[in-house]
Amino acid sequence: MKFKEALAGPGLSAIAEFKRRSPSMGDIRPDARLEDVLPAYERGGASAISVLVDERFAGSIDDLRAARAVSRLPLLAKGFFSTEEQLRELREAGADAALLILRDLDDETLRRLEERAHDIGLETLVEAHDYEELHRAMRGLHDVIGVNARNLSTFAIDRAEQLRLVAFAYMHEDVLVAESAIHSRAQAAEAELAGASAVLVGTSLMQAPDPEATLRDLISRPLVKVCGLTRQEDVDAAVEAGADMLGFIFAEGSPRQAPAVLNVPDTALSVAVSVGEPVDRGANLVQVYEPAKGKVRGRKGYLRSEHGGAMVWDQPWDEIDPDHWQNARAEGRLWPRLVFAGGLDPDNVRAAIDAVQPWAVDAASRLESEPGIKDHAKVRAFVEAARG
């Protein structure tokens, strides 16, 4: 399978990176062997493999040859390439794609390298990290565009800018890769909401005691949202249990109105829930329900970031729809990302996931000991069941 094709499948894909060190961090895993790591990446669900071939990362062209010998996945060669001869060497060593970094290439050189790569059957991932570079990338002959959250000159990370760039390019490109600074399912989900088809993940996998399990967890769906939080201790319990999103309700008439968006670590996403109009209150995401006359909310809502979103399908307020799961499945066929809510608890969430196939599941009232007060044992059981 070709590199771009491998990243273009349904859901969020991952390019799992092999590197022993980095200029910004120093040694990461200096004794790592491709023969051990790459099979774990494949079992964990990687769609492609990235291999650093630059000595600054303790890599070489021999690593690419070794990777080709042990992996059938598309291989991305990463380094600082500027000549046609380098591309030829990468192709002969087994690369399916090569990274071209716009910071280091003028437009004429980029065009020449892209043309040469295509002539020899090598795809390209053209990397940008600001608007100027992104516009240059979009004018080229690229196969895939990557947006790096890391400034390669200063090593500074700006994930907010990365998400803005991904969202901008999503209007024009069909395959986009978010690169660097992704360490949790929530961070990967933010990139996915913005329009990324794939994430490139290296350091967090190379540092993980179990790279296979870490990668599988990063890209697995559904995400898990615990909503109706009103106390910091309940937020902390949900985070400890492994929830990806924490919901704070600001809708008038709800028995679970929150005093504020409470403290949520960067391994998870805060969500401000309202009706009719968005109320962000400093949250990572907003969830807005349609209004319904005489009720606190309608059953349909939208989970949104500044950059993209998902559709929320819930039970009608104070009503039970006996066909709730079937209707949700039908709605999900119209949306690439569906958040399924309404009547979920530790005992039924697994069956609901199997029936509906949602992007995320959302529970509130059935995880409580009383309105707005979470039962920590139920929260743990719900997250565990949802994550399978």
Residues 341 and 362 both lie in one domain: yes
Residues 136 and 242 both lie in one domain: no
Q: Give the residue from 194, 219, 244 where a domain finishes.
A: 219
Residues 192 and 264 both lie in one domain: no
Which SS3 state, helix, strand or coil, does residue 110 take?
helix
Kindly report the CATH number assigned to the domain that includes residue 378.
3.20.20.70
pLDDT in tens, the chain (388 residues): 899 999 998 889 999 999 998 877 777 887 889 999 999 999 999 999 999 998 887 679 999 999 999 999 999 999 999 999 999 999 999 999 999 999 999 999 999 999 999 999 999 999 999 999 999 999 877 899 999 998 777 878 888 899 999 999 988 888 999 998 899 999 999 999 999 999 999 999 999 999 999 999 999 999 999 999 999 999 999 999 999 999 999 998 899 999 999 999 989 999 999 999 999 899 999 999 999 988 999 999 999 887 778 999 999 998 899 999 999 999 888 888 999 999 999 999 999 999 999 999 999 999 999 999 999 999 999 999 999 8
Please state, in angstroms and rounded to a whole number, the distance separating the CA atoms of residues 266 and 277.
26
Please state, in angstroms and rounded to a whole number, the distance separating the CA atoms of residues 56 and 214.
26
**C-alpha angle 103-107-109 in degrees, rounded to nearest 5:** 90
The helix-helix angle for 131-139 and 107-119 (nearest 10°) equals 40
Assess whether the previous peptide bond of 222 is cis (omega < 30° from 0): yes
Which range marks the domain in which residue 189 is found? 3-219
Which residues neighbour 363 within 8 Å (Cβ) at sequence distance 6 or greater? 225, 226, 227, 341, 344, 345, 349, 382
Residues 33 and 182 both lie in one domain: yes
Residues 204 and 240 both lie in one domain: no
- Please give the model's pTM, rounded to 2 decimal places: 0.92
